[in-house]
Structure formats: structure tokens, C-alpha cells
Structure 1
Amino acid sequence: MDTEILNVEDAVSYEDIITKTEIHSYLPYLSGPYPLSSEIRIAVQNQDIYTVPCNSFLQFRGTLLKDDGDIPTTTKIVRNGILHMISKISYELNGIELDQTRDVGITCTLKNYLSLTHNQLPAAKMAGWGIEPDYKLSLYAGGRFEICIPLAMVLGYAEDYKHIIIIAKQELVILLANTQVNALLDTSNQPENVTLSIHTIEWLLPHVQVNTAERIRLLKFVEKGTNIDVAFRSWSLETYPNLTQSQNINWNVKSSFAAEKPRYIIVAFQTNKQNDIRADRSTFNHAKIKNIKVLLNSESYPYLDMNADFENGRYLLAYQMYAQYQQSYYGQLSSPILGPSEFKNIAPLFVFDVSRQDDRINTGVIDCKIEITAAENMPANTQAYALIIHDRLATYNVRDKVVKILV
């Protein structure tokens, strides 16, 4: 019997360390609307505060209008479309780049298909996300839109590091893409001439206040000059911009030091989707993949061949590898947002859990290669993406305001 039921003398305790939580709004140095290719910086200059970046949001407001000022009738913003307007976002701590995400639209679309659960889908609609086949971002009067995206959907640092930031300058740097086309979809015979504009961006950052005893404890911690470890998993997207029109393709993805250890590798394909308003950039193609393997040096993942045949409904192993991601990555019961049919038609992702690695590949340099076998030659204009989720470790010294990237 559990002896906890016998502890009738235990005192009642209350959670009163945090006395107040407030959401503060931080704006860029320059006001919008922001032209394509703009660099936008949002800084937190006040360092005498405790902030919680992992619970922060990015709020975007803007418009989608035809050239004559009317609301479009055939053009829509695709799922995650506003993030397709961003080529890079980075988080800086005391002037040092701690984490970054490149090709933000593709990277975060892949990550959302993997990470979101059914219970999270209603809230994800506020972030410009949905899995309905005819999904489009809602427009209000005057062609206005407004979305609020958790920073944890955009940066691995915000998803994994669940602690406050003490007495440090913080800055988000957002680099807009050079085209709006990848955020839009218009399948009509005569696509409309439209402009997608971002007028305002706000960083909604929680501040916390603590009771006197905790404040004194934190001040003493700062005075000691102790280094704080900041460990998280960063997301790096590698792209093969135009696959050779062959059935067998060997892709030398990248080489990295063993300390920057890959944990998960997600491979996806798109055909005739880049920079084409008639194609939905938030969906992917199975490209008639038959077998696909990741090689870290000589270690192969998975051990078995997939022997997939998407055209005839044989892709069980690929779907199982996708469906098991949440349990492996988060240690929670998996509840993937895509069923087998949606997986095939919307986002057939090839997910490789490489977190368990032989000692032989944990030293020196790790060469990452992907072997691809298709049922027929790859179509022209097919891109391959490899989202590599890898370890990242930094330290920051609150007293000396020194940030060091270790991995």
C-alpha cells in the first residue's frame, strides 16, 4: 500500500514564490508595414527583470489585398503562411546568437506536423494553423489578419528551455523573405494580383515577480557568478534544391562534430511548389519513395527496408515512425494530428529517431548521408528537405554578462 495515505500530519503548503505574472509588449525599433527582405529587431533593454521566453508569443497583424484595394476572392494565406514570409529568426542573449531557425516556413511546418496534438489544434488556429484540406487564414474587414504564434513553435530554445532569464539583454532578429508567393495559394485560372503586408509585429513576453525571500536567493546566486547551463535541441534545415531525375539518389547532407549530435532527422519532398502561387507550400509529396535510409558514418537508420508503395497504400512503417515521434521526443503518449490517409496526402514525412547512437560515431566528425530509392525517376523540380534536430549547449554568467556557446 502507498504509505503517502498515512501522512496525515503533513503541513499544508501554498505556492506563493511567484507573486505576479504580467505580459509585456515589445515592438521593433522601426514601425511597419515592413517591405520584403527587411531585418526587424525587437529588443528587451531593461535587464532588471525576470522574463519567461518559453511562454512568449509573436503577434503579427497585417493585410491581404488586391492591387485595387479589394479583398481577394480566390487567393488565400496557407497554413503557417505568415512564417513562410520569414527567412530567418534568431534569439540573442547579451549580444550572442543563442539559437536560430532558417527557412522558417518549411522548418516550422515540418515541426508542427510532428509536434502538435489533437488537443492543441484549436489553440493552434490562433497561430495560423489547421489541417483541413481547404484551410485558409481568416481575413477580417479590410482584408486584415491577426495571428499569435508561440515562440516555442519557432525556436528550439523556446520549446526546451523552461526557465526564467535573469538580468540579461534579449533580442529577437527577424529577417523577412524576398517573396510573398510561398505564403499564398490561388488555384484559379487567372491568379489575382495581391499584396500581403505585415504591418505590426509584437513580442509578448511574460514578466514574473517573486516574493522577498526568493528575490534575495536569486540576488545571492547572481553575486556568486555561477554559470547557468542553457541546454536545448536546435532545428537545422538542410535543402537539396533540385534532386537528380533518378531512382537512386545519395545525398551527402552535412558533416558535424560529434558534440553537435543529431537526435532526429526528418526528410520531406516537394515537387513544383517553390515560388508558385498555384501550389500549396505547406504540403509535401511522397515522391513515390520506396526506401529511404539515414547513415551516420556507417550506422544505418532504420535497420529494415521500408519497401513502401504509397500508390497502393503500403507505407505502414513510414507512418509508424511518424506516429511514434511524440512519445520519443517528449516522453508523452503520441497523439499525431495526421491519420494514415492525411499522412499520405498532406505530409508524408520520413522520421528517423537517431538519438541512440553507437559509441563509434560519438567521437570526431559525424557524416550524415541519406540514401533514397524511388519507384521511378524523381520528377523534375523536386526539392528534398532534411530537418536535423540536434543538441545545443550554452552557458551564461549573470554577474559578468558573458554568454558562451559550447555546442
Structure 2
Amino acid sequence: VCLPLSMLLGFFETYQKVVINVKQELILLRSRRDENCYLSAAVGSAEPAVAKIELSSLTWHVPYLTLDDHHRLELHRHLQKEKVIRMNFRCLELYEYPLLPTTQKHVWNVKTSSQVEKPRYVILAFQTARKNTVRKFSSRFDHCSVTNAKLFLNSKSYPYDDLNVNFDRNQFAVLYRMYATFQQSYYGVEHNYPLLSLSQYKDKGALIVFDCSKQSESIKSGPIDVMVEFESSAAFPGETTAYCLIIHDKAIEYNPLTNIVHRMV
């Protein structure tokens, strides 16, 4: 398997410049149980087959640039003049609510962020009884009969109006539109080519996407409280987990001559 890191980390997706004289480390956390990595169907009355996944090798391919003497001297002079380099990129941060209460409405205080790391997009998703089992796809998400969802940055809500969706009656066009237009807003492309069709969105990936890239002046100073509020037509089933993916700005400063890195807050 060859997997571009731009699919996993916002730094590799949005920062397109050369990194000079910096030690880079890649930390990967593996799932504790292999059942979360594959699907196995039972044959007749027999139990599903159990597999064991072993990683034999892992290679990180990184492009490496070298300069001739003339350009190396010019670069050294530039670094002495501009001692600190600022790196701006987007970061993906995932939060998990392991077990939702079996109620119809819930308010989740996700985090408090600074102005530098203010959210630009927030994606909310749910999974019911998909952990540690080979009978269900762990990469799919359930709609859980959600009827409304809102993102709050301090007192500012996204969207402003209620969604009023009903998955049981196939009335979720507004949610699909929020999902489909994310590609256009995030990548700055003219046309949208969503991975999921309308029917696939309901059955495989009911992601609730909040676009908060355009923010009012009222939340441009001080800390920002990130909160999501959601409700469904019936109580959330047991073993339901909520996920909140926050895509936010991030900035660091580093000195190539000393290898000192500072995080901007």
C-alpha cells in the first residue's frame, strides 16, 4: 500500500514549501485490535473468520533537495538575514465522545481554541456499535436519525437556521449540500465532485460539515469556545460514538540555524 501523507496530515497537504535543516519525525498510532481494520462475514451458523494483521515493513519516502555551491551560499545569506521562518498550514484535529447518552438532544463542549488556531471547518459524525467487530465496516458512519445540528463558536452559530432534516423520510438535501460544497470551499475549485452520491451519503457516510471559514468580527478576538449541539427524532442508540474533526489554522516559527521550533499561540 502506498499512501500519500497529504491524505492524513494537513501539514503535508497545505504547506508546499521546502523545509530546511529540520529533523522530522513521523508518529503512527496503530489500532489495538485488528477487528477494526477488516470485515468478515459469517457462513451459515459459523462465526466470522478472524484474521491477524502484521506490519512487516514501513518506509517513509521524502523528497530531498540539494543545492550547488552558488545557491547554497545565497541561501545561507538569506537565512542569516531572516533568522526565523514562519510556517502556516492547516491542521486536522479529531475529538471523540466515546459513549453518547441515550437522549434525543445533546450539547458537546469540544474545546477552547486560540485566535491563531481558530476552526475553519468542523465535521461531525456518528457510529453505532462499529468498534471491535468484524461484522460492520468501521469506516462507515450512521445518520442516527439526526434532525438538527449546529456549531457554536462562542455565541455565533453555524448554520444560522435550523436544518429540519428527516432521514426516515429522505429529507436531508441540506445536509448533503453542506457535504458536497465542502470540496469547493476547502480546495478552492470551481466544481464539486463529491465521493458519495445522495443515496450513499445516507447509508455509508452521513457526515455533517460546518463551513465556518467566513467569520464575523465578534469572534476575532480572545479565546474561542467550540461547541456542537445536535438532536435526533429518537433517542441515540446505545454504543453510539460521536466524532468531531476540526480543521483549523496553525502556525509555527523555526530557526534553521539553531533548529529551534516555536508554536504560535
TM-score, normalising length: structure 2 = 0.94
User: What is the CA deviation profile of residues 352-381 of structure 1, one whole-angstrom value per residue up to 9, with x for unaligned ones?
Assistant: 011222222222221111111101111111
Kept in 2: contact 1:225–1:399 (CA 8 A): no
Confirm or deny that 1:267 pairs with 2:121: no
1:17-48, CA deviations, whole angstroms, 9 ceiling, x for partnerless residues? Answer: xxxxxxxxxxxxxxxxxxxxxxxxxxxxxxxx
TM-superposed deviation, 1:327: 1.2
Residue of 363, 383, 391 corresponding to 2:221: 363
Q: Which amino acid aligns with 1:381?
A: E
Residues 148 and 232 in structure 2, CA contact (< 8 A), matched pair in contact too: yes
- DSSP-derived class of the 1:206 partner: coil
Counterpart in 2 of 1:282? 139
Q: Which amino acid aligns with 1:183?
A: C
Larger radius of gyration: 1
SS in 2 for 1:311: helix
Higher relative strand content: 1
Q: Which amino acid aligns with 2:8?
A: V
> Per the alignment, in what secondary structure is the counterpart of residue 171 of structure 1?
coil
Gaps of 5+ in 2: none
Measure, in 1, the Cα distance between the counterparts of 2:199 and 2:73. Answer: 56
Q: Which residue of 2 aligns with 1:186?
A: 40
Spell out, residue by residue over 1:270-312, the C-alpha distance to the aligned partner (whole angstroms, 9 max, x if none). Answer: 0010111211101000110011111111111101211111122
Aligned to 1:405: 263
CA distance, structure 1, for counterparts of residue 125 and residue 164 of structure 2: 17
Q: Give the structure 1 partner of residue 58 of structure 2.
A: 201
Native 8 Å contact 2:111 2:227 kept in 1: yes
Q: 1:392 and 2:250 equivalent?
A: yes
Determine the C-alpha separation between the residues in 1 that align with 2:15 and 2:2. Answer: 20
- 1-structure distance, mates of 2:50, 2:123: 35
Residue by residue over 1:98-135, the C-alpha shift from the partner in whole angstroms, topping out at 9 and shown as x without a partner, is xxxxxxxxxxxxxxxxxxxxxxxxxxxxxxxxxxxxxx
Is the partner of 2:77 in helix, strand or coil? Answer: helix
Per-residue Cα deviation, 1:252-279 (whole angstroms, up to 9, x for no partner)? 2122223320110000000010111211
Give SS of 1:172's match. Answer: coil
Question: Displacement, 1:225?
Answer: 4.8
**What stretches of structure 1 of length at least 5 have no aligned partner?**
1-146
Task: Name the CA distance, whole Å, in 2 between partners of 1:210 and 1:313.
Answer: 59
In structure 1, distance between residues paired with 2:195 and 2:29: 30
Aligned counterparts of 2:176 and 2:206: Cα–Cα separation in 1: 8
Equivalent of 2:24 in 170, 173, 176: 170
Q: Name the structure 2 match of 1:35.
A: none
**Relative contact order (C-alpha < 8 Å, sep 6+): which is higher?**
2
Equivalent residue in structure 1 for 2:195, among 289, 312, 337: 337
Q: State the match for 2:178 in structure 1.
A: 321
Structure 2 CA distance for aligned equivalents of residues 291 and 246 of structure 1 = 14
- CA–CA distance in structure 2, aligned partners of residues 175 and 338 of structure 1: 28
Secondary structure at the counterpart of residue 249 of structure 2: strand
Q: How many residues align?
A: 261
Q: CA deviation at 1:203?
A: 0.3
Would the aligned equivalents of 2:116 and 2:251 in 1 still touch at CA under 8 Å?
no
Matches for 1:55-70 after TM superposition, within 5 Å: none
The letter for the 1-side match of 2:79 is V
d(CA) in 1 for partners of 2:97, 2:25 = 31
Deviation string for 1:323-350 (max 9, x for gaps)? 1111111111321111111111110100
Q: TM-score, normalised by structure 1?
A: 0.62
Letter in 2 for 1:353: D
Q: Hey, what's the Cα distance between the residues in 2 that align with 1:270 and 1:187?
A: 19
| Deviation sequence 1:50-101 (CA, Å, 0-9, x none) | xxxxxxxxxxxxxxxxxxxxxxxxxxxxxxxxxxxxxxxxxxxxxxxxxxxx
